[in-house]
Amino acid sequence: MPNKLPVGILGATGIVGQRFIQMLEHHPWFEVAWLAASDRSEGRPYAEAARWRLKTNIPARIANMNVSPASRAGAPKIIFAALDAAIARELEPQFAASGCAVVSNSSALRMQADVPLVIPEVNGDHISLIETQSWRRSSGGFAVTNPNCSAIGLVIALAPLHRHFQLEAVMAVTMQAVSGAGYPGVASLDILGNVIPYIKNEEEKMEEETQKLLGTLNGGKVVPAPFAMSAQCNRVAVEDGHTESVSVRLKKKAKPEELIAAWNDFKAEPQQLRLPSAPDRPVIYMTASDRPQPRFDCDLGGGMATAVGRLRPCNVLDWKFTVLSHNTIRGAAGAALLNAELLKAKGYLG
């Protein structure tokens, strides 16, 4: 594979790190060349260091690759980062400062003013914020982030509505899968037969990230979208797939068929550029009265599509509907991967 770009994965043993490895296995542009994780894993073959939690096998080449220390030495110039926020806050700037393209799934830098928080279908233009980063000027390195797993499906569903009808208010109540909490993550004693109506910092992230993602670039800065946004986050006994009950108020009044058309017709740069991980249709409106459902629908578009259903009037705002998105594919590893593909298409990866 002489023409593929070598990439590294920071946090390679976690649930999102595993998804990176799975999604990169047959990738046409990128090839995993370096795996790093916490001290405990260093120097061990990946298959031993990771507690693999996916249904597909660990790719043989990766299984035998040794886990490196999480430091710049030996790392390739493109880094996918799937670190806990506290560690990311320290490491990601180091890698960017040393010349790496850091494509991060962590929350550490997402709200930093000069760091693009990007969903390629929604605000690919925000990538130009890279040019305002001091890392970029000093070393050529930079950092780009994708949103929280609970924000991304929501924002993809909101984007065509916002474009056509302008959002005035959004309320979202989530029912989030346990894989969103990593591994070991949620204890079975906490979630079997239960709902946990609290996920630390999640509601704050959903609210501010949604507004940054749908915001506009103005003079090298992102002006957050001005609509009101309120989130309530719950954990449920689901393995993969975040389901959200959403209500919106729109400035421009619309008929339900217009909203559905806005979703079904939604295409953007990743589709036009035919990025390898881009779904044909970023949003799929399901007409069955009881869909989408995480167990049956979260793999639509290879886990990269957002499913929407149950559009109906809301007595308080204007419309309500259900959104479903795969939280570790579109909501994490796939999100970063699509960001990297957009960066490559735009010439940022050399």
Contact set with a second copy (CB under 8 A): 15, 53-55, 169-171, 173, 175, 178-179, 183-198, 207, 228-230, 232, 234, 236-239, 243, 245, 247, 289-296, 299, 309-310, 314-317, 320, 322
Handedness of CA 9, 12, 17, 22 (dihedral sign): positive
Residue 238 CA from chain centroid, whole number: 19
Q: Between residues 111 and 314, which has the closer beta carbon with respect to a second copy?
A: 314
Q: Tell me if residue 242 is catalytic.
A: yes
Q: Between residues 60 and 228, which has the closer beta carbon with respect to a second copy?
A: 228
One-letter amino acid of 306: T
Identify any residues that bridge with 79 across adjacent strands, giving them in sequence order: 8, 102
Minimum CB separation from a second copy for residue 156, in Å?
17
Pick the catalytic residue: 100, 149, 233, 298?
Answer: 149
Integer Cα distance of 272 and 90 in angstroms: 36
Q: Between residues 112 and 245, which has the closer beta carbon with respect to a second copy?
A: 245
Minimum CB separation from a second copy for residue 188, in Å?
4
- For residue 298, CA distances in Å to 149, 153, 213, 315 come to 13, 11, 22, 29
CA atoms within 13 A on the CB side of 73: 2
Minimum CB separation from a second copy for residue 199, in Å?
9
Pick the catalytic residue: 27, 126, 242, 326?
Answer: 242
3-state secondary structure at position 238: coil
Residue 163 phi/psi, 5-degree rounding, is -65, -40
Q: Between residues 59 and 296, which has the closer beta carbon with respect to a second copy?
A: 296
Minimum CB separation from a second copy for residue 202, in Å?
12
Tell the residue number behind the tokens 């949620």, with chain if given: 186
Count of Cβ atoms closer than 10 Å to residue 72 Cβ: 16
Q: Tell me if residue 149 is catalytic.
A: yes
Minimum CB separation from a second copy for residue 246, in Å?
8
Both tokens of 6, joined, read 């070598």
Q: Between residues 41 and 211, which has the closer beta carbon with respect to a second copy?
A: 211
| Residues involved in catalysis | 149, 242
